[in-house]
Amino acid sequence: MSFTRRSLLAAFAGLPFAPSALASAQTVGLGELAARSGRYFGSAVTRDDVSDAGPHLRLFDGECSVWVPTWQMKWGALVPTLGDVPDYRACDAIVASAAKRGKRLRGHALIWHEHLPAGAERLSTAADWRRFVAPHITAVAGRYRDAVFEWDVVNEAIEPYDGGADFMRRTPFYAMLGSDYVAEAFRLAEEAAPLARLYLNDDHLYYAEEWQERRRAGMLGLLERLLKAGVPIHGLGMQCHLDTRLHFDDSVFRRFLKRIEDLGLNISITELDVTEAPNARGRSISRRRLRAAAEAEKVLSVAFDSPALAGVVTWGLSDDDSWLRNRGPDMVDNQGLPYDDAYRSAPLRDTLASLFASTQTRHPT
Ligand code: XIL
């Protein structure tokens, strides 16, 4: 690609030295590059990222065709305590900003065992589901039925370490309906938002480690059961929180993707970032950024070969805002996103650009 750090700064940051006409001719946003290859590119966003007064709006606008609220659509964000009236203000602000700028929205997530309303961890019966969970799904999916083109209906349903023969995570949702909660959630989502593409979303499905093999088996089993039962499900979201410490074998990942493709499902990469800090000792920051980009390239180049890959979303654009940095004392300077702390483009951005530029999908977005 022919853009330079200077041209990106010029196009997106609007700095005084910007040679702006040249910059805009040279710079094509990742969303635009993705669209040319029949896919989408997006980022998780906060309300500040996309507000008219936000300092980085031009970056999120210029780079993305899709936005995903990082936090604001989660149940506990809308309803801090079980029984509260939902507060949609932050979410509505993101939806309005997206509409104004022609962005498509991925909804994340209707059902997740983390960040629940206080009190929801005690829900355990089918009556609780009917009283609290079903109305939540119906209300949120319904409110945003014209705004959200793709929903993560259930996030992180698989956890072999919880000990179930079905490898499903034991959550309050599981306590309420057993494994049927997933099918029920999808049926409710479809009723409320009939045009949206409905996804199961999960992590740790890419590396050759044995524990990830069990997660792949659990996920395939669940997807097969849902499809056999006629549940309206259209895709698998792979979070892709990658990690340079894990062992990757492209044939293992390719085989898994082929199985998903053969089920007729879409595949999306929904939360891309790279953990590289814990084993970065002795490496310069620029080498660390290159290493993060190489890690993503390794995994994504296999995913990009799949005609089922609908798009890629990164979990934020700049390392400065990355959730990974709060994940422990050895993560505070992690370098795992397409832009560095000063919102300058990093090698991972180039990697994404060349992947989009060099591949095509047959899959309609
Ligand atoms: C994280 C957000 O980035 C944080 O801001 C929030 O406090 C917690 O959730 N997998 C997911 C995402 O599916 O929802 C998580 O996002 C990151 C891990």
**Span 96-117, pLDDT tens digits:** 999 999 999 999 999 999 999 9
- CA–CA dist 291, 280 (Å, integer): 9
Q: Are 200 and 158 in contact (CB under 8 A)?
A: no
| Cα(154) to centroid(ligand 1), Å | 14
**Which residues are bridge partners to 273 per DSSP?**
241
213-215-219 Cα angle (round to 5): 120
Confidence of residue 253 (pLDDT cuts 50, 70, 90): very high
Residue 361 has what pLDDT?
60
Residue to mutate, 152, 159, 243, 271, ligand 1, most ligand atoms under 8 Å from C-beta: 271
In the structure, which protein residues have their CB atom closer than 6 angstroms to any atom of ligand 1? 70-71, 155, 239, 271, 323
The percentage of the chain sitting over the pLDDT mark of 70, rounded to a whole number, equals 91
Q: Are 143 and 107 in contact (CB under 8 A)?
A: no
- CA–CA dist 92, 38 (Å, integer): 28
| Cα(137) to centroid(ligand 1), Å | 19
Residue to mutate, 48, 73, 106, 114, ligand 1, most ligand atoms under 8 Å from C-beta: 114
The DSSP call for residue 274 is E
| Cα(100) to centroid(ligand 1), Å | 25
**CATH superfamily assigned to domain 2-358:** Glycosidases (3.20.20.80)
- CA–CA dist 335, 293 (Å, integer): 9
Interacting residues of 289 by C-beta distance below 8 A, sequence separation 6+: 335, 340, 346, 347, 348
Report the atom number in ligand 1 closest to the C-alpha of 270. 13
pLDDT at 4 over 70: no
- CA–CA dist 148, 191 (Å, integer): 14
Residue to mutate, 70, 314, 325, ligand 1, most ligand atoms under 8 Å from C-beta: 70
Residue 353 has what pLDDT?
97
By alpha-carbon position, which residue is closest to atom 13 of ligand 1?
A: 155
**Domain coordinates of the chain in residue numbers?**
2-358
Tell me the average pLDDT across 199-223.
98
Report the atom number in ligand 1 closest to the C-alpha of 241. 18
- CA–CA dist 254, 234 (Å, integer): 20
| Whole-number CA gyration radius for the chain | 20
- CA–CA dist 344, 7 (Å, integer): 10
